[in-house]
Amino acid sequence: MTANTIEINRRRHPIQPGSPQWLFGYGSLIYKVDFPYLERRRAWIRGWARRFWQGSHDHRGTPESPGRVVTLVEEPGVLCRGLAYRVSPEVFHHLDVREKNGYLRLPTAMHFDDGGEAEGLIYIAAPDNAAFLGAAPAREMAAQIARASGPSGANADYLLRLAEALRQLGDDDPHVFELERLVLSA
């Protein structure tokens, strides 16, 4: 199963040549930075919660045994911490491919830890994409994460690396940390 969004992103939100853009990372973009950037800053966005509700059929799982990766879901009043990267337009050619399984590029207001603000882009996998798995009991999600593996490695590694990266940012994400605890205790 795929929900290839490469061309959708390129049509809906064309990137202007020569104009660096801010990008907000809240999942693997925090710890797996396989792209060049001009600047990186600690940042947060308001009204979005990080959830392991997106299926990964191409990176951390397979079509027969999908993994779970994070997306954002709207939740009023919640802050989602992450990292903001100022990148050249060419970087989005790589990122559109990396985030192709259901993720759409959307504009977002970012707030930097030093008090500054900027408009940037974010990749979100909405509930209407074909790879969306949605909510499930934490034990079921943890069991799925523990057993899934794909071309990019074990799904559990994704979860554990994200949890560690969030600790380094000083973020307390109960959803991620509960899944980490369940995977580690299995």
SS3 label, residue 53:
strand
Q: Which residues are catalytic?
A: 99
> CB under 8 Å to 92, separation ≥6 — which residues?
9, 15, 21, 105
Task: Give the other-Cβ count within 10 Å of 116's Cβ.
Answer: 11
Spell 39-67 as b/e; 16+ CB within 10 A means b: eeeebbbeebbbbbbbbbbbbbbbeeebb
